[in-house]
Amino acid sequence: MGYTVVWFKRDLRVHDHAPLHHAAAQGPVLCLYVIEPSLWAQPDAALQHYHFVQESLHDLAQALQRRGATLQVAVGEVVDVLARLHALAPFHTLVAHEETGNAHTYARDLAVGRWCHAQGVAWREWPQHGVVRRLRSRDDWHGHWQTFMHAPVVLAPTPGPAPEALHTRTLPWPAQPWPSGAALGLPAHDPPQRQRGGRKEGLRVLQDFLLQRSQGYRGGISSPLTAPSACSRLSPYLAMGCLGMREVVQATQRRQQQLKASTEPGAAWQRKGLTAFMSRLHWHCHFIQKLESEPALEHHNLHRGYNGLREGEWNPAHFDALVAGRTGWPMVDACVAMLRETGWVNFRMRAMLVSVASYPLWLHWRPVGEWLARQFLDYEPGIHWSQLQMQAGTTGINTTRVYNPIKQAQDHDPHGHFVRQWLPALRRVPDAWLLEPWRMPPDVQARCGVRVGHDIAVPLVELDSATRTAKARVHGLRAQPAVREAKAAIVEKHGSRQFRDGGSPQARARARNAAQHPQQQTLDF
């Protein structure tokens, strides 16, 4: 009779898992996860991602075991693993969620499709969140998102057993040794304070946010001092699919309904926080849709008129200083230190890092993006590369937003608690010199025991003049007629739409007009 293979990728759960639900309803299934050496060799992969996946797979294996199934983990390239399985005992169907990943996973999925066609294996995919494959028009996207998010979540029935030829001794879990990070070529660093993977931990974080921490969401997500608790911290669990976007949306809506009738302290602030949070969940899918609709934006400027703007002027000294947290600007270097320790920093600080890299340091967004992808535990390709280009000013449709790291420190760390936490040398620097410690006179350096240029770095460029020069170059290019004319096509394909009166033709026209000057959107989760 054959069986169905359920291929888990970035959907490490059984709850609201449509491929597993449909496969189990049809007969025997084999649940498969593949450790792909070529995927982990990509420049956006890090050891922390690998360990988070391991932790999540342990939860997934237990959840499947409770339903009478075994998670099979294989090491190899996916087509080779599928061929091995098929040779042992032919399967008739392969099912999975659609994935909007990097260029490597895009090519891999195409190869899997070709293999399935050649073998006569049916290959079916289901959408995982509000991203629409082969979307014809951005005008239709919001309606798709609403329909998907309001549909009932899918509960997985008990799967049938795998065929006898595929005992656990064939593709064992967990007896088969996992390749080490070193064997996969991953750098050895794993942030010691990063979040741990798995659905159980994701659900705990979700409940803690909905019931308690959402009270501080509005007003708390901008400062790196308050953001670690004010933000939902759900992003890594959404990125690896330990939680489904639909279940998070619906859980948030249920909590909003509860709070409407609540008289408990802080209920009003929680409602406001959850309203703001819901808008971020919408923007999450909006930005991933950009990569789905235009995969090339991972490697190329979204607006081709910006080609050549920074590409030929790479400065390795500037990049090395950024990566080492030695730019000399305390807020920047403290954020790099926090990333190294935790794998997370809030969105405003991420935007500031990219802005500093793109403007005063004049670095191209692609190498900076590869480095940050490895630093972010919650790396989500669609959001990541869209945001990199927005902050670098190469989308051609977004407002240029340049973050001054000194002003960011004044606004969000006025007493220096954050920079002193992450930069021990600054703990001895007097408040008067904390924002610009490189300006300390020699006698002050001697009194506090801090040597500028040794204990703390001297900025590589003069911030104001370097930023002005960079902005002038970007704006000068933007003002060229050919660059302006190409903007309309990008808005039509990628610009946001908000229809408040039922999606009428008039509303669509207004939405397109508004999309001509979209603002940056914060994506703190």
Q: For residue 174, say if its preceding peptide bond is cis, omega within 30 degrees of 0.
A: yes
| pLDDT (mean) for 2-22 | 96
Token output for 151: 């549909």
Q: Is the pLDDT of residue 488 over 90?
A: no
Per-residue pLDDT tens over the stretch 412-431: 999 999 999 999 999 999 99
* pLDDT averaged over every residue in the chain: 91
Q: What is the 3-state secondary structure (H, E, C) of 112-143?
A: HHHHHHHHCCEEEEECCCCCCCCCCCHHHHHH
Of 239, 238, 193, 231, which is closest to residue 346 (Cα–Cα)? 231
* pLDDT (tens digit per residue) in 274-307: 999 999 999 999 999 999 999 999 999 988 888 9
In the structure encoding, which two tokens stand for residue 33, read together?
């996860």
CA end-to-end span of the chain: 45
What is the band of 3 on the pLDDT scale with cuts at 50, 70, 90?
Answer: very high
pLDDT tens sequence across 53-105? 999 999 999 999 988 888 999 999 999 999 999 998 899 999 999 999 999 99
149-170 per-position pLDDT tens digit: 999 999 877 777 666 655 443 4
Q: How high is the pLDDT of residue 498?
A: 61
According to DSSP, the residues that pair with 72 across neighbouring strands are 32
How many Å apart are CA 366 and CA 296, to the nearest integer? 12
- Give the whole-number percent of the chain exceeding pLDDT 70: 91
**Between the CA atoms of 388, 394, 398 and 400, what dihedral angle is there, to the nearest 10 degrees?**
90
Query: What pLDDT sits at residue 1?
Result: 64
Question: Range with the lowest mean pLDDT among 251-255, 348-352, 515-519?
Answer: 515-519
Helix (H) / strand (E) containing 31:
strand 29-35
Decide if pLDDT at 22 tops 60: yes
The secondary structure element, H or E, covering residue 5 is strand 4-8
8 A C-beta contact, residue 38 and residue 129: no
Amino acid 177: pLDDT: 75
Pick the range with the lowest mean pLDDT from 33-47, 56-70, 388-402, 437-451. 388-402
Which residues touch 134 (CB under 8 Å, ≥6 apart)? Answer: none
| Residue 178: predicted pLDDT | 86
pLDDT exceeds cutoff 80 at 176: no
> DSSP character for 372?
H
Interatomic CA distance for residues 464 and 406, integer angstroms: 10
User: b/e for 409-426, b at 16 or more Cβ within 10 A?
Assistant: beebbeebebbbbbbebb
- Residue 7, classed as helix, strand or coil, is strand
Of 139, 211, 262, 223, which is closest to residue 522 (Cα–Cα)?
A: 223
> The tokens 């993977």 sit on which residue?
197
Residues 174-183 have a mean pLDDT of: 79
Looking at residue 165, its pLDDT comes to: 52
What is residue 499's predicted lDDT score, i.e. its pLDDT?
45
Contacts (Cβ under 8 Å, ≥6 apart) of 340: 189, 191, 325, 375
